[in-house]
Each structure stands twice: as structure tokens, then as C-alpha cells.
Amino acid sequence: YTLGEEIGRGASGTVYSAKSTETGMTYAAKRLLIEDTSIREVGVLTQLRKHPNIVEYVESKVGLDGQTQVLFVISEFCPLGNIGDYILKQQVEVVTKRNLAVQLADAITFLHKNKIVHRDIKPQNVLLTGNKAFLVLKVVDFGLATVLPSPENGANNFDRSYMRSAVGTRFYLSPEIYQSLLNDQPCRYTPSVDIFSLGLLLWAMFDGLSIPGSCQADRYLTPFAGAETDPMPIAQAVTQGDIGQLDVMSTEEAHQCKNLVRRMLSMEGRERPGA
């Protein structure tokens, strides 16, 4: 493979475009340090059967970056970028948003049926391919994913990888993970953490909510509490009991899903619906 430009950064590594020297096809190559999280990510990807809304894993290659041995995870390339940028920069019809919502729910259902909790559902990790007439959604970046049941998912599970991941992650955290990070305490992860993040993403998609991004021209697709100049993550607002004050799914196009999304944003994981 010949590496091209950087196309993204995930919880555990940097992603580049990569062209196969054999076929000329373009792929995504995620550069990872060889450690537990990278081994876990490859393990999750290799055990998953093919699903139309999960990024297709191709292979892994070990290489050198200077004196450092690294792992390159090769997967399919999604040329339309992430769902957050696409929603904010294109005129996306309601029917298309609904179709994307169904695809994302299907992907999360598939993961949960395979006892995999993604733990980092957010716009950067939901990529698009296909064309404007029919967008195909792909869930990517399994650097924080975990398989249930396993010894690490007991009461003492606390993953500091969240502290290293991109700033956007904190706006898509569930209340239980938010509290565990805030208090530096263990957290028992269940599939319901993905449901909370899914609810946030649906809310942001249908209501077109965003905050300023890393530079003035950028916007980041997310719901938030408080003022746009000092936005508060919804998990924090829910923890403080402020969710009743938030106007969830307020647009006419989102009204049909309002009650469902409100249930997804329940403080207690057991009160959230399944995928």
C-alpha cells in the first residue's frame, strides 16, 4: 500500500487514505501503536460477520514508522466523509435522514446481537459512501469497543482511553460513563451506553444542532445544553437533572421520533430501549 493524506483521527490512531500497489484500489489505513487497544480493535473486526452498515475490514499489516513498530488496519474507504460534516454542509431531505437513522440502528442492533458494545458512537465514527440518491452508512473505529461478556466488563471496568480520545467524544458520552470519568471511578458498561449516544446523534441530525468546531469555519454536529459559546454535554445535563428543560427533537420532521429519543436519553441505562 502507498499511504496518502490524513483523512481522520480516531480514539486510538490516525487514519490515512491508502492505495493498493496491486489493484490500485483506495482503502482507509488506520495507524495504531501495537498495544492492547489495537489488538482489541483488530479482534473485534475479525470476529464480525459482514454487515452492510459496518465498515468492511480487509487486513492488518505491521510496519515501521521511524524506529517505532506500528500496526496498519486496512478497511474500505468511505469517500463521502462523516455524517456530521455531511448533514451540516448538504441539504439533506427528511426521508434521507430517516433512512440513515434506520441504517445506524441496524448497525448497532447487529453489534449488540454479537455482544459487542461500540462505546464511541459519534459523528466522526459514522461514515458515508454511495451517492446522494442512496447514501450508505458505515460504523467505524472499534478502538474503544468491548466484547460482552468478558472479565474486563465487570464492576471494575474503567477505560482511560476516553480521556485520550477526540474532544467530540464528551458530547456523546452516556451519563454513566460521564460520571465514571468525572469521579475517576469504575463503570459497568452495558449496550445501553450506545443507545444514549444513538439518541444524541438522531436528535442532532433531525434538529440540525451544532456547536463551533476546532476552527471558526467548522461546525460540530451535536446537541448541547446551555449557551453555544459555553456548551454543556447532554450527559452532564441529564446527570444534573436538567433534561426536562431541553427541547428534544423540536422540529416538525423529528416529532414522530420524539418520545423514542427521549427514552434513549434516560438517566438510567435500564430505562433505555434496546437497539
Q: What is the spatial distance between Cα 123 and Cα 211, in angstroms, rounded to a whole number? A: 13
Q: How far apart are CA 191 and CA 10, in angstroms?
A: 21
CA distance 273 to 194: 11
30 annotated as belonging to a binding site for a ligand:
yes
Collapse the DSSP code of 174 into the 3-class scheme (helix H, G, I; strand E, B; otherwise coil) and give the result.
Answer: coil
- Helical (H) or strand (E) element with 234: helix 234-239
Contact 28, 75 (CB under 8 A): yes
Residue count of the chain, please give it: 275
> Is the distance from CB of 202 to CB of 245 less than 8 angstroms?
no
* Annotation: binding site for ATP: 30
* Annotation: binding site: 30
